[in-house]
Amino acid sequence: MYAIIVGSGTTGLKVAEWLMASGAEVTLIEKIAEKQRFADNLLGSVVVLGDGIMIDTHNTAGTKRADLFISTLNSDEDNMLACQIAKHHFEVNKTIAISSNPDNANLLNLLGIDIVVDVTELITEKIQSLVAPLLVEDL
């Protein structure tokens, strides 16, 4: 499997490490040179310096041959655009985007992103699962 991850922040790096440990070939796209150098030092020379919402950067990263495309940027709009470029311009089979806004998560689904990870929903569910036993104890 060949996977491309946009963003070499904490989430992008953790996903890249897991995919690489699972045997996947991974390329990260990062537009900040300092973060690109850090990720290269951590993972090996697997990071393309460029903007994940630019077609030229996708060409350099080899998006055309990717099986999986994941966008982990802080901007829902940029994640949407990066995944749409991968899906519609480069015909990547499976796209995943992170969303920090539940309203945007629904929109990303409607726009054809295959999997949308709603960070707010995940955090809320985790807090609920941790707090629920405390509420039962109070009864």
Long-range contacts of the stretch 14-17 (C-beta < 8 A, 24+): 15/70, 15/72, 16/43, 16/46, 17/43
Domain spanning 2-138, CATH class: alpha beta
- pTM of the model as a whole: 0.89
Domain locations along the chain? 2-138
> 68-91 pLDDT, tens per residue?
999 999 999 999 999 999 999 999
Beta bridge partners of 115: 96
Task: Indicate the angle between helix axes 102-110 and 119-138, nearest 10 degrees.
Answer: 130
> 83-134 pLDDT, tens per residue?
999 999 999 999 999 998 888 877 777 788 999 999 988 999 999 999 988 8
Specify whether the CB–CB gap between 24 and 46 falls below 8 A.
no
Terminal Cα-to-Cα distance of the chain (whole angstroms): 50
